[in-house]
Amino acid sequence: MKVDLTVNGKNVTADVEDRTLLVHFLRDVADLTATNIGCETTSCGACTVLMDGESVKSCTVLAAQADGREVTTLEGLKGADGGMHPVQKAFHEEHGLQCGYCTPGMVMAIASLIKENPSPTEAEVRSGLEGNLCRCTGYHNIVKAALSAAEASK
């Protein structure tokens, strides 16, 4: 099956099997490896990307479902100045990562959350991240990074 989507502002067209998951399309066809494969059951959120501006877990979206859509991965997330996105900066400044495996999915989920709710409370951030797991940090600095990014995005 032929799929044609825009990934990080660039057109990507390929013939893929109809059962190809978006995460595999991004990694294997578009050669964008920041999107991690974790559980492949939507439990961990390591594969979170933005599709038409909203966060989705790419391990349960077929590439065919993304046909004609706009997908943004961590590689395509940019700040207004073309540099790091406020969420990326906040993760760096607030030490919001340890091993880094969950980080791409966390950053994408928080970017989506802040877009939907520019001034989230700590409770809203924690609720918004319920579908993204981190086994290293205990979430404290991730939540601090989300709140810092929201403040910086104003």
Residue 81 within a domain: no
Same domain, 58 and 122: no
Interatomic CA distance for residues 119 and 98, integer angstroms: 26
- Same domain? 64 vs 118: no
Domain membership flag for residue 95: yes
- The domain tally of the chain equals 2
Of the pLDDT bands very low, low, confident and very high (cuts 50, 70, 90), residue 149 is: very high
**What tens digit of pLDDT does each residue of 10-31 get?**
999 999 999 999 999 999 999 9
Q: Check whether residue 60 and residue 94 sit in a common domain.
A: no
Distance in angstroms (rounded) separating the CA atoms of residues 113 and 16 = 31
pLDDT at 47: 97
Q: Are residues 101 and 146 in the same domain?
A: yes
Phi-psi region of 64 (alpha: psi -120 to 50; beta: other; left: phi over 0): alpha
14 lies in the same domain as 43: yes
- Looking at residue 130, which CATH number applies to its domain? 1.10.150.120
Looking at 17, 48, 76, the residue that finishes a domain is 76
Query: Tell me, what CATH number does 7's domain have?
Result: 3.10.20.30
Alpha helix (H) residue ranges in the chain: 22-24, 86-93, 103-116, 122-128, 140-152
| Residue 103 counted as domain residue | yes
What is the total residue count of the chain?
154
Q: What is the mean pLDDT of residues 3-8?
A: 97
Residues spanned by the domain of 56: 2-76
pLDDT in tens, 89-148: 999 999 998 899 999 999 999 999 999 999 999 999 999 999 999 988 889 999 999 999
